[in-house]
Each structure stands twice: as structure tokens, then as C-alpha cells.
């Protein structure tokens, strides 16, 4: 630590999910079990070029990511949301976009008394960014059913950050409940809605953008488009918020999104039909797995995401996590108050989930 800055020495970094070498089934980081769009794969190969066709990789990528922003606009149009490229910001995964939100919109501790507000149980990266960027924050407890209740958010704040659907619970908060928070914060603070999982259920807050210049919707291609390894995320909002993010990006890493990533993302975004078909498949599997787990005595939270958050009163979650891990089945367990006895499992293929269900059933029978 002797060479570290105070920041590097003091920070507790985010812990990513494990990446076991030869997992039998990897359902611990909410990746999509299906391949990305064939059009995206073709675009990736074409963008990479070959020795006799010197690749554009020699050159810097477009710092403005204009083609990706246009593709986002086209995909949103197909979903009935009318935007222009000035409403879109592109980043190196949504983690990158979120990090820029912290720098662009949330006040540093000490500058004001008003803290950034987010739920006590949510994406565990939020407190890491808040500490890294010195943002004062307050975690608002989810209610007993693990829903985000508005009471904690209708008070002076330096910003609001909500994952919707929330992670790791999977619970979706209807827009009619988000609107009062946006109205309360209007002309005062920015409300970021992290929609990493919106493709798997619920209506996007993007439909509220015309009324709320303080709303920023953050999305990713990691889950719905099966491109976690590509690292592309984006934000939708009023041009002045997009400009705020761009100011930060151009002060840190103007070429944050590489050429390959941009070309692949464009093709993936435009293949709206493929994405919808794969998403529908995952949702159908999710419902089937939820029912099977409920039949085994699990309490399954209602999920609008590509994962389930479950608990069983007769089985310790940690024990189940370890038993499954020993068999090469990787799920996620968070050693955190309130959710210690839950496991989160991503939705894999039907075949993977059948194996998972079989193993869980076997574990339960040995524990009873």
C-alpha cells in the first residue's frame, strides 16, 4: 500500500461473480445463455478485418459513437419511443455509464448535505462508486417484501439511483410509482433508472423522458443482447444530461467504446426480432423454473429479470450454494444482512435448468 493514493488504499472494490474454469453450469452472473445475434457476429468478424483487408482497428474509434446512438434510436422507435441521437450516450458497459453518472450528477460529500439515495439491497456496485467518487449517500431500506417503497425517496436528495427491475431481487417497480419520485426531484436532482434487466419484464421508464428532463435511463447489451464480453452500455435522457456524461467521458477516456464493440453493437441493436425471440425464451424458462422451485418449497420472489432470487426455510442458502458449487453449478450468494439466506440464479438454457433443478431436488432430499 505504500505507493497507493489515499483513494486506492481506502477503497473496498466491487467483487465480480466468480468465473470458474470449467463450470458445468454457470448461472451466477446473469449472462444470457444464448449466442448473440448472428448479424452481430458477422459484423464483429467484418470489423476485425483480415491481413489482406487491413482493418479499421488501426484507427481510433468514433469518440461520439454516432452509429451506435443511431441504432439505439432505431431500436427505441421499434419499441414506440421517439428519440434522437442527442438523447443517447454510449459507454464501455453500463458500469462505465453508471460511473460517469456519479461523476456528472451526484454531489461530492461535504458540498451539500443532501445524499444520493438508493436501496439498501440493490446492485452492489452503487456504494463502491459512491465511496470512490466521494459522494454522500444513504441506503433506503426495501420493505419487508423487498419492494422499493417511495417513502424514503420523497425527501431532499442529491440524486436517486434505482435499478428497475432491481437486482438481486428481480422485482419490478411500476412506472406509476416512479413518477412521483421524478416529479419530486424535478429541477432539483437527477433520477437514474438502471434498466439492465428491463428486456425481461416491465415497461421502460424511457416512455417518461418527454416529461422529465431529470430522468436518465441506463441500459446494457450485456444481458438482453448476450454481449457481456463486448462491453457496451448506454444512457437515454434529455440532451443536457447526455452532454454532462459526454463532458466526463471526454475528460477520462474519449475512445471508451472500441471500434469492434461499436460495429457489433450496431448490428445487435438493429436485430430487434432476434433479441425479442431470445428474451421470450428466457422469460418462459424463468416461469417454469420458478414454478418448479416453488413446488420444492422455495419462496421465489416475483422476477421481471433473467434471474430468480429464492430462499428455502429448511435449507441454508450458503450450504446450498456450496453443495451446488462442488458439482460445478455456479449460483450467486451474497453474504449480506437480510439476504444471507437467499441464492440468486440466472436463467440458463432449458437443458441447464433441468440439470440445476434435478441437483437442487437431490440436495433437498439429503438435507431433509
Binding region for ligand PMP (CB under 6 A): 93-95, 123, 163, 167, 194, 196, 220, 222, 228, 233
Minimum separation from the CB atom of position 332 to ligand PMP (A): 10
- Measure the CA–CA gap between 333 and 15, rounded to whole angstroms: 12
Are 326 and 194 in contact, with CB atoms under 8 Å apart?
A: no
The dihedral of CA 302, 306, 309, 312: what is its sign?
positive
Supply the minimum distance, in Å, between the C-beta of residue 237 and ligand PMP.
16
**In the complex, least distance from residue 243 CB atom to ligand PMP, rounded to whole angstroms:** 22
Going 50 to 227 to 358 to 342, the CA torsion angle's sign is positive
For ligand PMP, the closer of residues 283 and 360 by Cβ is 283
Q: Considering the complex, what minimum distance in angstroms separates the CB of residue 125 from ligand PMP?
A: 7
Of the pair 101, 196, the CB lying nearest ligand PMP is at 196
**CB 123 to ligand PMP: min, Å:** 4
Nearer to ligand PMP, 16 or 210 (CB): 16
Q: Cell 432476434 appears where?
A: 274
Residue partners of 145: CB distance under 8 A and separation at least 6: none
Is residue 344 helix, strand or coil? Answer: strand
Taking each helix axis from N to C end, the angle separating 259-270 and 38-48, rounded to the nearest 10 degrees, works out to: 160
Q: Which is nearer to ligand PMP, 158 or 170 (CB)?
A: 170
- C-alpha 268/C-alpha 362 separation (Å) is 39
Q: Which is nearer to ligand PMP, 221 or 360 (CB)?
A: 221
Report the residue number, 30 or 37, with the smaller CB distance to ligand PMP. Answer: 30
Residue 354 beta carbon to ligand PMP: minimum distance, rounded to whole angstroms = 25
Place of cell 437527477: 190
Q: Which grid cell is 178?
A: 416512479
In the complex, what is the shortest distance from the CB of residue 101 to ligand PMP, in angstroms, rounded to a whole number?
11
Please say which residue, 262 or 312, places its beta carbon nearer to ligand PMP: 262
Q: Which is nearer to ligand PMP, 165 or 244 (CB)?
A: 165
Beta bridge partners, 277, equal none
The answer to whether the CB of 242 falls within 8 A of the CB of 87 is: yes
Find the helix or strand (DSSP H, E) in which 25 lies: strand 25-26
CB of 53 to ligand PMP, least distance (A): 31
Cα–Cα distance, 339 to 184 (Å, whole number) = 30
Strands 298-300 and 307-312: what pairing?
antiparallel
The single residue listed with the C-alpha cell 456496485 is 125
DSSP class per residue in 349-368? -HHHHHHHHHHHHHHHHHH-
Whether 132 contacts 268, CB under 8 Å: no
Smallest separation (angstroms) from ligand PMP to the CB of 91: 8
- Secondary structure class of 192 (helix, strand, coil): strand
- With respect to ligand PMP, which residue has the nearer C-beta, 93 or 244? 93
Amino acid at each position: 500500500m505504500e505507493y497507493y493514493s489515499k483513494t486506492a488504499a481506502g477503497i473496498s472494490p466491487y467483487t465480480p461473480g466468480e468465473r470458474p474454469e470449467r463450470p458445468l453450469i454457470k448461472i451466477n452472473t446473469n449472462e444470457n445463455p444464448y449466442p448473440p445475434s448472428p448479424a452481430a457476429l458477422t459484423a464483429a468478424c467484418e470489423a476485425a478485418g483480415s491481413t489482406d483487408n487491413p482493418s479499421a482497428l488501426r484507427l481510433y474509434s468514433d469518440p461520439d459513437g454516432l452509429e451506435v446512438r443511431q441504432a439505439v434510436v432505431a431500436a427505441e422507435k421499434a419499441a414506440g419511443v421517439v428519440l434522437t441521437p442527442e438523447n443517447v450516450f454510449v459507454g464501455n458497459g453500463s458500469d462505465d455509464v453508471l460511473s460517469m453518472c456519479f461523476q456528472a450528477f451526484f454531489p461530492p460529500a461535504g458540498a451539500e448535505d443532501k445524499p444520493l439515495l438508493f436501496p439498501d439491497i440493490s446492485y452492489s456496485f452503487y456504494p463502491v462508486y459512491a465511496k470512490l467518487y466521494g459522494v454522500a449517500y444513504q441506503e433506503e431500506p426495501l420493505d419487508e417484501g423487498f419492494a422499493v417503497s417511495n417513502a424514503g425517496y420523497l425527501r431532499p436528495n442529491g440524486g436517486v439511483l434505482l435499478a428497475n427491475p432491481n437486482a438481486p431481487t428481480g422485482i419490478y417497480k411500476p412506472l406509476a410509482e416512479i413518477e412521483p419520485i421524478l416529479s419530486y426531484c424535478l429541477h432539483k436532482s437527477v433520477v437514474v433508472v438502471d434498466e439492465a434487466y428491463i428486456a425481461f419484464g416491465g415497461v421502460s421508464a424511457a416512455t417518461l423522458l418527454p416529461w422529465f428532463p431529470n430522468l436518465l435511463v441506463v441500459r446494457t447489451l450485456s444481458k438482453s443482447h448476450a454481449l457481456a464480453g463486448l462491453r457496451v452500455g448506454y444512457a437515454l435522457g434529455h440532451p443536457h444530461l447526455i452532454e454532462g456524461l459526454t463532458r466526463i467521458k471526454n475528460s477520462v477516456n474519449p475512445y471508451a467504446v472500441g471500434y469492434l464493440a461499436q460495429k457489433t453493437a450496431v448490428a445487435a441493436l438493429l436485430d430487434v426480432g432476434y433479441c425479442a425471440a431470445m428474451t421470450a425464451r428466457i422469460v418462459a424458462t424463468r416461469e417454469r423454473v420458478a414454478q418448479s422451485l416453488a413446488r420444492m418449497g422455495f419462496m421465489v420472489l416475483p422476477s421481471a429479470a433473467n434471474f430468480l432470487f429464492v430462499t428455502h426455510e429448511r435449507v441454508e442458502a450458503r450450504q446450498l450454494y456450496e453443495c451446488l458449487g462442488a458439482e460445478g453449478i455456479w449460483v450467486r450468494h451474497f453474504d449480506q444482512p437480510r439476504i444471507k439466506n437467499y441464492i440468486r440464479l440466472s436463467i440458463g438454457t432449458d437443458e441447464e435448468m433441468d440439470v440445476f433443478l434435478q441437483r437442487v431436488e437431490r440436495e433437498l432430499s439429503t438435507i431433509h
